Amino acid sequence: MFKTKQRKSSGKAEPTMAEEPTMAEEPTMAEEATMTEESATDESSNEQAETHVSFAEELEIRLDEIGKLNEKFLRKCAEVENFKKRLQKEKTDAIIYANSAIVKDILTVTDNLERALDHCKDGESGSLKGGVELTLKSLYETLAKHGVTEIKAEGEKFDPNLHEAVSHEEKDGVETDTVTTVFQKGFMLKDKLLRPALVIVAK
């Protein structure tokens, strides 16, 4: 009989099935690494998104504050400008109306000249009448240069703000409350009443 030779052991232990890495374990480790990276990326993205939102909100708040401050600044500028205009107008009016007393005195002179003309008869003292008319015209022109204007009265509707009725009369063909006669002329200095016109009014 043939004797079968037995293979001698080399003394090295052969790896068992349990000790060898399996193909199933390798992808699991890769997946874990990928998941970790994705988680870190998601967290970073969330932080960036939160930072972006926070910055946008802060920017909106600041812009709103700037807008309100700008509106307030513009209002203050308008108030200052209006104050300057009002101050300038008051100054101008003060200069104009400071002379109102003098103007009233001059109007007294014109009244006397008007009466003198009314008493002059045609052909009588012609040179004197012409001189009075010229003086009166010159006075009215000078007053007009300084903003003094005559108030329209005769034939106008009675206005208590401009006219002062000294009498009433019935007159045919004339509407009620119409000025029929002017006793004394009234005058304005710019937009201020110097004196009302003294008139007779139809009733």
Model confidence at 152: pLDDT above 70: yes
* Number of separate domains in the chain: 3
Strand partners, 42: none
How is residue 62 written in tokens? 């600041």
Domain of 35, in residue numbers: 28-98
Q: Please, what is the Cα angle at 110 between 104 and 111, to 5 degrees?
A: 90
* Residues 35 and 81 occupy one common structural domain: yes
| pTM score, whole prediction | 0.56
pLDDT of residue 47: 60
Mean pLDDT, the chain, as a whole number? 79
Residues 87 and 113 grouped into a single domain? no
Print burial letters for 125-141: b (CB count within 10 Å at least 16), e (below 16). eeeebeebeeebeebbe
- Looking at the structure, tell me whether residues 33 and 91 fall in a common domain: yes
**Which residues are bridge partners to 165 per DSSP?**
199
Of the listed ranges 2-6, 36-40, 129-133, 147-151, the least confidently predicted one is 2-6
